[in-house]
Amino acid sequence: MFARKTWSNWSGGVTCRPGQFVVPSTVDALSDLVRETASANGKLRVVGAGHSFTPVVATEHTLVSLARIAGLAEIDREAGAATVLAGTTIRNLGGLLGKHGLALENQGDIDSQAIAGAVSTGTHGTGIAFGSISTQVRALTLVLASGKLLSCSPTHEPDIFKAAQVALGSLGVLARIRLQCVPSYVLRDVRRNVDLNQCLADFEDSCRRHRHFEFWWFPYSDRAATKALDIVATPKPRSAVKRVLADKLLETGVFWAASEAVRMFPGLSRPVARFASRAISETDYADHSHRVFPSPRDVRFNEMEYAVPVERGPDCLRELKAYIERDRVRVHFPIEYRVVAGDDIWLSPFYRRDSAVISVHMYAGMPYADYFAGCEAIFRNHRGRPHWGKIHNLTAHELQDMYPEWHRFHAIRRRLDPRGVFMNDHLAKIFGA
């Protein structure tokens, strides 16, 4: 337990001063902490890697880190499943599963998140045949406000399970997560720079031809940087020299320096964006999946992301492009475009529909409110749903109409946490509690 000090998220855009910051080492210690907090009429939020851009964990009360509750709790070889302690980062999980010949079916391009946070917010990768990480969950163990453990799955407490698969930590603290895995596999990563209009015209075909496909568009350019991943038999990793040149020198060092220049002189945003669109390196290599999915994210930013019906994605992107160019928005960070399969998780942004997921970014330290507000209006016109861990301006009034099971979810939330032990100001705003 540590004295009051300021906590901030990864981007530095969210800060808070919790009354106490606690790092329990065991699930039993976590249960005791939750029970004692509830008995004292206190409130408690849990932080993983701090990679959400919203104040989803911000609190002036007790902030709990799960960093020491990490690792594999169990491997079920027959079922090809792994039970993972909630504080395990996705980066570490890849290596741990690999030792047992297993891997995640899919993951995102950032792997620093704790698995509990990734599940709780519906974090995802890309691929029209693949859902979010939450769809890979087969059972969950929650620490309830009483301090008791509750296990749920599709066959045991199925309604609680469906609510808890994406719950923003509002039902209880995730302690253990059973994940359905697949045998280890090798992915080939091919990155090409192509014409944006041609990329959009070919997008459906590209999604059918590749296991995973996505692209980035830099503002004020006509180029798209594509990334296609497919399973191959053997690794062909990049050399250390090429990896350092591409990831550290060019896409981190040079882009960071350019971003700092734009921060100090915003008028440089257009030429820097155009330069970046031409400077992205093309690659072709293969390695184990957990090494290929993630991309370096050392240049910090703030992000808004919406999931729109997949058929509306191209038009939505074209409108974003027109808005940026018409209003001469001072932005040089790219827009990312991915696809995610629909699911049946009550608060998932992908509930009952395949989605095009479009992410807009602004360099940390630069003003983003006006830019994001303009993008959000376009997303909403295309029936978009926001990512729970990314910046948005919606409240319960707008959100409840987006989720058919909204009231069913909150009935369970109120039953499991009637005194709001796990609530904070942000959750009160978006849940209307």
Residue 164 pLDDT class (50, 70, 90 cuts):
very high
Q: Is the pLDDT at 276 greater than 80, yes or no?
A: yes
Tell me which amino acid residue 270 is.
R
Residue 285 pLDDT class (50, 70, 90 cuts):
very high
Residue-wise pLDDT tens digits, 342-400: 999 999 999 999 999 999 999 999 999 999 999 999 999 999 999 999 999 999 999 99
Do 383 and 200 meet the contact criterion of CB atoms below 8 Å apart? no
Residue 245 pLDDT class (50, 70, 90 cuts):
low
Q: Is the pLDDT at 1 greater than 90, yes or no?
A: no
pLDDT > 90 fraction of the chain, expressed in percent and rounded: 92
Please provide the average confidence, as pLDDT, over all residues in the chain: 96
Q: What is the full DSSP assignment across 81-144? A: EEEEETT-BHHHHHHHHHTTTEE-S---S---SBHHHHHHTT----BTT---GGGGEEEEEEE-
Quote the CA–CA distance of 193 and 199 in Å, as a whole number. Answer: 9
Phi-psi region of 240 (alpha: psi -120 to 50; beta: other; left: phi over 0): alpha
Q: What is the pTM of this model?
A: 0.96
Q: Is the pLDDT at 2 greater than 80, yes or no?
A: no
pLDDT of residue 242: 67
pLDDT of residue 252: 73
Do 300 and 14 meet the contact criterion of CB atoms below 8 Å apart? no
pLDDT of residue 384: 98
**Choice among 79-83, 234-238, 269-273, 379-383 with the minimum mean pLDDT:** 234-238
Residue 238 pLDDT class (50, 70, 90 cuts):
confident
pLDDT mean over 192-211: 97
Tokens of 370: 């006006």
